[in-house]
Chain A
Amino acid sequence: MTDEEFISLLDAMGAEIARWPAPLQIQAAALLERSAKARANLKAMRDVEELLALSAPPFDAAAMAARASQAGQAGRSIMTPALRKVSFAAAGVIALAAGILVGITPPSDASIIGSVQMALNGGTGDVW
């Protein structure tokens, strides 16, 4: 295994070498013994994955449930300007979907919803 092959595997499978296929684990271990470049790249990937594993942001479930259900019951989205454009598109989708989605699983029929939403959104996004 070369340094380049090892680095490609790192990018493809991540730094947890124990989860790589067994033959590759053996080759990687041998490479790491002799290659400082391989060790440096492994350390960098481990740093990335360790930092990504750090804590989650706080979340108030009760407050969120109250706000979202009120908004849903009112038939509107509560969005600040940063997301308002998306909200308008969503409102249009919901309105149209009321006629389209009867008897259809809403989230899985991406082709129909996507077409509607693309038209509403100027083709910029895939909200559903």
Chain B
Amino acid sequence: MGETDDALVLQVARGDRLAFARLVERHGARLKALATRIAGNRAVAEEIVQETFTRAWVTAPNWRHKGDGARAFSAWLTRVATNLAIDQLRRPRNLPIEDAPEPVDPASDAVEALIARERLSRLRAALARLPPRQRAAIALTYDQGLSNIEGAAALQTSVGAFELLLVRARRALRVAMMEDEA
């Protein structure tokens, strides 16, 4: 078992780049997945993750563990990345949504692979139509595996409001998949 996030943050506060690298290694991939899902574009997601960790570096000297147990720093990173991604999504842009996570080939057969790709394309289009906070709720739940309580904290909203976002998002995605099947 490695050092806790808080222990590493303390070292980062003293300028320890190795400790910082360990934090990035520990949390970076999931933040990239989160940001990619919300932003719909890997390049933008990369910037969001970099900005998140830059803020972590800057914030480290003032970091105070408070209340959220061993996951406090992780939750803070999630909150920052989520808010950056949502904020970015609200701005006008012309970036391709197709640049979302690629699937591991889910089918060995070529026809099945084609069908899977079409289904994924339909889902991406439906995700792109979701309001930013609904897309974030989906990402926090399915990409990050957060509970509704944790997801609500990341979005800085109530659990009830988070659940409502999730219900509306699921409904929109389900309906989109059914319409395309029809």
Contact B88 A69 (CB under 8 A): no
Interface flags, B124-148, vs A, CB<8A=1, else 0: 0000000000000010001100000
A-B pairs with beta carbons under 8 A, tally: 190
Contact B177 A64 (CB under 8 A): no
Q: How far is the CB of A107 from chain B (nearest CB, A)?
A: 4
Which single member of B66, B123, B163 contacts A105 (CB below 8 Å)?
B66
| Interface membership of A28, Cβ < 8 A | no
Q: Which A residues lie within 8 Å of B47 (CB)?
A: 78-80, 82-83
Residues A106 and B104 in contact in the complex (CB < 8 Å), given A68-B24, A125-B83: no
- What's the nearest-Cβ distance from chain A to residue B66, in Å? 4
A interface bracket (residues with beta carbon within 8 Å of B): 35 or more
Within 8 A of B (CB), among A13-36: 14
Question: Do A127 and B83 touch (CB < 8 A)?
Answer: yes
Give A97 to B24 CA distance when docked, in angstroms.
Answer: 24
Residues of A close to B168: CB separation below 8 A: 11
Flag if B177 contacts A65 (CB, 8 Å). Answer: no
Q: What is the interface of chain B mostly: helix, strand, loop, or mixed?
A: helix
Are A69 and B57 in contact, CB atoms less than 8 angstroms apart?
yes
Inter-subunit contact A71/B50 (CB<8 Å)? yes
B143 contact from A40, A52, A125, Cβ within 8 A: A52
How many angstroms between the C-alpha atoms of A61 and B26 in the bound complex? Answer: 9
Q: How far is the CB of A112 from chain B (nearest CB, A)?
A: 13
From A62, A77, A82, name the one whose CB has the most chain B CB atoms within 10 angstroms: A82
**Given known A-B contacts A14-B170, A65-B17, A108 and B54 have beta carbons under 8 A apart:** no
Which residues from B are CB-within-8-Å of A44?
174-175, 177-178, 181
Chain B residue, CB-CB nearest to A110: B156
Q: Does B112 contact A (CB under 8 A)?
A: no
Q: In the complex where A47-B177, A82-B88, A107-B79 touch, is A101 in contact with B170 (Cβ < 8 A)?
A: no
Residues of B within 8 Å of A68, CB to CB, are: 20, 24, 50, 53-54, 56-57
How far is it, in angstroms, between the C-alpha of A104 and the C-alpha of B61 when the chains are bound?
A: 11
* Distance, CA A15 to CA B68, complexed state (A): 30
Distance in angstroms between the alpha carbons of A21 and B22 in the assembled complex:
40
Whether A86 contacts B54 by the Cβ 8 Å rule is: no
- Residues of B close to A61: CB separation below 8 A: 21, 24-25, 28-29
Q: Is the CB of A86 within 8 A of B87?
A: yes
Is A116 in contact with chain B by the CB < 8 A criterion? no
Choose from B23, B33, B49, B79 the contact partner of A128 (Cβ within 8 Å): B79
A residues 79-128 with Cβ under 8 Å of B? 79-80, 82-83, 85-87, 90, 94, 97, 101-108, 110, 124-128
A-B contact pairs, 21 of them (CB 8 A): A40-B178, A45-B174, A45-B177, A47-B123, A54-B103, A56-B33, A57-B33, A57-B45, A64-B53, A72-B55, A75-B58, A77-B55, A79-B51, A83-B44, A83-B84, A86-B88, A94-B58, A106-B62, A107-B59, A107-B79, A125-B87
